[in-house]
Amino acid sequence: MTPITKSRIHLHSPCANIVTAFNITPAPTTESIERAIRAAALRHGSMSSRVFQNEDGSAFFDDTRTEGYKIFAAELEGEFDWMVVAAEEERGEFDVENGELARFFILEGSEMTQLVIVSHHLCGDEQSQLQLAADILDELEGEKAASKIPVVEQDLGEITAEVKLPNMMGMMINMMNKRWTKAGRFFPRSSFSMMFERAWQSRSTDIVSAVLNVDITEKLLNLCEQNGVSLAGAVSAAVAMASGETEDVSVNIDMRPEGFSGMANHAASVTVTVSPEADFWISARNFQGELNAKTSDPSARFFLTKFVGEIDNRLIDASYYCTYGGFPDPIARQVTELLGFDKSKNILLADLGEFAPKTGKYRAEGIKMLPPLAPNGKYSVGITRQNGEISIVMQFIDDGDGDMARDIFDDAVMILMDEALRG
């Protein structure tokens, strides 16, 4: 069995779904897609693993070759069907103990098929899901996927060896851990199922998306290059300009080893501040400067990983239970506040780069990626590129201010388009 360490924080989160959707033309048969999914899934150890948790909070992958994932087929009614699937599946808890870490939805149309992949974050990060999508397309074309890659879990101690927490923070975490250990509390699986259900009784989200055409994309990417700014920097600046507020953006950084093509959680996360400026590109460059500084410094790049890794796993679980299940424990409440679960103020952003699967008989088009909207986030933003176009998807908490979030998204997209056309 493989210990779950770096990914352990995702185990009981009620907001851990990663969604990828794309269209396949011409429409293949349902049977051929199912065969391709099963063949591709065989390559990845996390797709055939069950998850176990001990009373001490430790958790493990057990690669049992269990086909725990599920495949569904339905009629395609419109190009935005994937959004409906994503929204509905958030409310369906994964049965990770029996190996259910992913669900596949084959939406059949007369001229194209839309494939929607919904996976639990334990199964792998956003980049991993794109790898799985590419493997499915390879199998559909008749290309045999590469040999199986077992479950991979990064060594928490190794990747955070250079990170030093402030003394006071370290002392506070040790004190909380000791108090929690002394209390000896343990939540059975049924408690978290109840917490999951309760979370979605009071939580509501919505999704918006936009595609920048080839001309806009080319101009925008050229301007990003001229200003030394990543696409993530431009999008973050656009959101800040649209909201008119200083925003905290948690950016996913892909740290997977070169040549690795499996499914795993290799991403790190750094939080960067972006403020609206009179000049859009000043805002974007300021963001990029802070992002570059943090990603080049291992102590900053893995600070959050180190911080979370020092907290007792059972206390992490209790913080979810406190946030969504009404658990009134004061220690759990303190951890909830430290993790920002009580604020939901960050923008969670993942730029997945170019999706360029091999083409043959079939074409994959219209790629969409939606990262999880974790408890500390007010928006999650997924950016992908394909066939010269940029896709931007945003999920947000719809607690009565949904119209404001939609307006901010629309305005941010318009700002990007205006900047591109202005040159």
pLDDT digit string, tens, across residues 255-275: 888 888 888 888 889 999 999
Give the predicted TM-score (pTM) of the model: 0.94
The DSSP annotation for 46-75 comes to: GGGEEEEE-TTS-EEEEE------EEEEEE
What pairs with residue 62 in β-bridges? 50
Q: What does the DSSP 8-state code read for residue 8?
A: G
pLDDT band at 145 (very low <50, low <70, confident <90, very high): low
Amino acid found at 93: E
Is there a contact between 358 and 143 (Cβ–Cβ < 8 Å)? yes
**Torsion 137-142-147-151 (CA) sign:** positive
Q: What is the mean pLDDT of residues 304-314?
A: 90
pLDDT of residue 201: 87
Q: What is the mean pLDDT of residues 413-419?
A: 97
pLDDT digit string, tens, across residues 71-125: 999 999 888 899 999 999 999 999 998 889 999 999 999 899 999 999 999 999 9
Q: What does the DSSP 8-state code read for residue 111?
A: S
Residues 163-422, CATH architecture: 2-Layer Sandwich (3.30)
pLDDT of residue 146: 64
The DSSP annotation for 291-336 comes to: HHHHHT-HHHHTHHHHHHHHS-HHHHHHHHHHHHH----HHHHHHH
Residue 1 pLDDT exceeds 70: yes
Identify the three-state secondary structure at position 370. strand
Residue ranges, CATH 3.30.559.10, the chain: 2-140
Is there a contact between 12 and 194 (Cβ–Cβ < 8 Å)? no
Q: Which residue has tokens 């409310």?
A: 91
Topology adopted by domain 2-140: Chloramphenicol Acetyltransferase (3.30.559)
What pairs with residue 117 in β-bridges? 20, 104
b/e map 253-277, b = 16+ CB within 10 Å: bebbeeeeebbbbbbbbbbbebebe
Q: What is the mean pLDDT of residues 280-295?
A: 96
Q: What is the mean pLDDT of residues 366-388?
A: 93
Is there a contact between 120 and 28 (Cβ–Cβ < 8 Å)? no
b/e map 363-399, b = 16+ CB within 10 Å: ebebbbbbbbbbbbbbbbbbbbbbeebbbbbbbbbee
Nearest to 254 by CA among 154, 383, 127: 127
Mean pLDDT of the chain: 90
Residue ranges, CATH 3.30.559.30, the chain: 163-422
